[in-house]
Structure formats: structure tokens, C-alpha cells
């Protein structure tokens, strides 16, 4: 079994495998290319994202700078806006649904290392070879989610559709759809409802209006 297949299977793999190293090096170099573009170089930016990502939906905008680890393991939907300093360590699959908005400094991580120090240094492979091994858990973010500034999503987390994650949260477990969640560790504060409409904040809404369905 190839090391990339081991990642998908959720079992230990060697991040130093030459095939994986080549994927990461290519992506890391493309990160640099993207980060050296100007904001209005839209076609150039889109072309680079198409090379980096497994899927880049129409209308995707990433402010930059960006840091993708593999890139090809990340799929981002349509009309997604992502602010400054996105980091996605996508050893395992990462999916981000349509119409999501991310604040600055959002980090998504998928790899997990053994807890015991000796095992972090090395484990024995099936052939008896000592190697540094880790494993990874996928992250899935639904559609229409808003992640505040400096949110960290930990390995294996799924966030349902229509969620708001408060700034600075560290999300260590799944968040059901339609919730406001915040904290470290992140927890559900309450379900979002019609009472959260801007029409109930006229002092902020001012002379603007809600678009009625």
C-alpha cells in the first residue's frame, strides 16, 4: 500500500516518503508563488489555486498569504471568502462547503502524532524498519459557515452547515449544523434562530433592510 493510500485509510504513514515529500515540495513552492502575487492579479491567482487544490469552486477568493501542506487533499466550494493567513495542513482530506467565510488566521490541521515521546521518534514498520510515523484524520466544514479570526480546527472534526464559530476557538469535536459555538475547547453555545436576524438590531441595521425570502 502506498503511503498516500495509508493516509486515506487512517493508518500510520511515513511523512518522509519520497512521493509525499515531492507532493509537499511542489505545493510549498506554489504557496510562495501565490504569496508573491498582487491582489488584483486575479487570473494568475486563480491559476495557482487550481494547481494547488484538489478542487477550487467558482468565486473562491483567498486573501493570502496561504500555507497549504499537500493542497491536493483540500476541496473548497463556490463563493468562499477566506481572509489573511490561511493555514491548512491537509495530510488527510479537508472539505469546505459553498458560501463559507473565514476570518484571518484560520488554521486547519489533520495530522496526529503518537502521544508518547519514544513513539513519536520512531516506530517499527511491518518490515522491521525504524521510521517516524504519524496518522491523519479528515476535516469537513459544511456550507454557509462563518469562522471567526484565529479559529483552529483540529483533526477529525466535522462542522455542520450554517454554523458560526467564535474568534479564537479551538474546535476539538464535531459541531452540529445551525449552531453558534465558541471557546477553547470549542463548545456549542446555542442554536441559531430567526431571533438572530439583523432586524432585531435596528440600531445596527440603520436604514438598511433584510431581504425577505
Answer whether residue 212 is part of any domain. no
Show which residues are catalytic: 113
**Domains contained in the chain, number:** 1
- In this prediction, residue 2 carries a pLDDT of 94
- In this prediction, residue 186 carries a pLDDT of 98
Answer whether residue 210 is part of any domain. no
- In this prediction, residue 199 carries a pLDDT of 94
Answer whether residue 17 is part of any domain. yes
Q: CA triplet 108, 111, 116: central angle to 5 degrees? A: 130
Q: Indicate the helix (H) or strand (E) that contains 41.
A: none
Q: Which parts of the chain sit beneath pLDDT 50?
A: none
- In this prediction, residue 205 carries a pLDDT of 96
Closest by alpha carbon to 178, among 198, 197, 164, 158?
164
Q: Which domain holds residue 188?
A: 3-205
- The CATH number of the domain where 106 resides is what? 2.160.10.10
Amino acid at each position: 500500500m502506498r503511503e498516500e493510500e495509508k493516509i486515506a485509510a487512517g493508518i500510520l504513514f511515513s511523512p518522509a516518503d519520497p512521493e509525499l515529500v515531492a507532493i509537499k515540495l511542489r505545493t510549498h513552492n506554489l504557496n510562495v508563488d501565490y504569496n508573491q502575487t498582487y491582489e488584483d492579479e486575479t487570473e494568475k491567482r486563480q491559476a495557482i489555486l487550481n494547481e494547488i487544490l484538489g478542487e477550487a469552486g467558482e468565486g473562491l477568493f483567498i486573501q493570502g498569504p496561504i500555507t497549504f501542506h499537500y493542497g491536493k487533499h483540500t476541496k473548497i466550494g463556490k463563493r468562499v471568502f477566506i481572509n489573511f493567513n490561511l493555514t491548512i495542513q491537509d495530510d488527510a482530506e479537508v472539505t469546505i462547503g459553498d458560501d463559507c467565510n473565514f476570518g484571518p488566521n484560520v488554521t486547519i490541521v489533520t495530522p496526529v502524532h503518537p502521544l508518547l515521546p519514544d513513539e513519536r521518534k520512531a516506530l517499527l514498520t511491518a518490515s522491521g524498519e525504524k521510521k517516524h510515523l504519524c496518522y491523519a484524520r479528515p476535516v469537513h466544514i459544511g456550507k454557509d459557515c462563518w469562522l471567526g479570526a484565529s479559529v483552529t480546527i483540529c483533526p477529525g472534526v466535522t462542522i455542520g452547515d450554517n454554523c458560526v464559530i467564535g474568534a479564537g476557538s479551538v474546535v476539538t469535536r464535531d459541531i452540529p449544523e445551525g449552531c453558534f459555538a465558541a471557546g477553547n475547547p470549542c463548545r456549542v453555545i446555542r442554536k441559531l434562530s430567526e431571533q438572530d436576524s439583523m432586524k432585531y438590531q435596528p440600531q445596527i441595521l440603520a436604514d438598511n433592510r433584510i431581504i425577505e425570502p
